[in-house]
């Protein structure tokens, strides 16, 4: 009887203060929106005539390459995030804030990739994008 009380007390102290399913759903939503926003930067300008279409599509190549790289970065971060959250048994408010901090940099990828797509050879654009990717990795490590 006394052993049951101790075990019950231990289970209560390990009880999660956060609904991990909701945290996972929020994270999935942020990743999905970030992936979707990446494609918005790949657009032809208005008024392109048929004869000029091949040249205009070639002009989009840097943006498309940045799109592919960004998609892989966000997709990889999502996979790692899912594996990590699957292993967490319980969490508190601190887990929520660490998770939000991680998602902050994921949500920034569409903006940093848009700048890189527009100025693909500019040091500041390259550095900003690389810093965003590094901050995703560092914040994920901190979350873990």
Question: Is 9 a domain residue?
Answer: no
Give yes or no for residue 1 having a pLDDT over 60: no
* Alpha-helical runs (H) found in 88-122: 93-118
Q: Which domain holds residue 94?
A: 16-143
Question: Is 2 a domain residue?
Answer: no
Question: Is 5 a domain residue?
Answer: no
CA–CA distance, 114 with 116 (Å, rounded to integer): 5
Per-residue pLDDT at 8: 44
Q: What are the structure tokens assigned to 108, written together?
A: 């920034």
What pTM did the predictor assign?
0.81
Give the CA distances from residue 64 to residues 38, 44, 55, 97, in Å, rounded to whole numbers and listed in that order: 10, 12, 14, 33
Q: What is the mean pLDDT of residues 30-44?
A: 94
The tally of domains found in the chain comes to 1
Q: What is the DSSP letter of 44?
A: P
Question: Is 6 a domain residue?
Answer: no
Question: Is 102 a domain residue?
Answer: yes
Question: Is 4 a domain residue?
Answer: no
Q: Where do we find the tokens 């040249």?
A: 55
């Amino acid at each position: 009887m006394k052993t049951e009380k101790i075990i019950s007390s231990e289970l209560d102290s390990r009880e999660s203060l956060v609904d991990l399913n909701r945290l996972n759903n929020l994270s999935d939503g942020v990743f999905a929106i970030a992936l979707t926003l990446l494609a918005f930067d790949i657009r032809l300008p208005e008024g392109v005539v048929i004869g000029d279409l091949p040249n205009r599509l070639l002009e989009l190549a840097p943006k498309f390459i940045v799109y592919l790289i960004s998609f892989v970065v966000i997709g990889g971060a999502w996979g790692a995030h899912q594996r990590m959250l699957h292993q967490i048994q319980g969490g508190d408010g601190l887990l929520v804030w660490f998770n939000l901090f991680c998602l902050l940099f994921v949500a920034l990828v569409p903006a940093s990739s848009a700048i890189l797509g527009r100025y693909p050879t500019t040091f500041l654009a390259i550095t900003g994008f690389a810093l965003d990717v590094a901050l995703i990795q560092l914040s994920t490590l901190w979350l873990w």
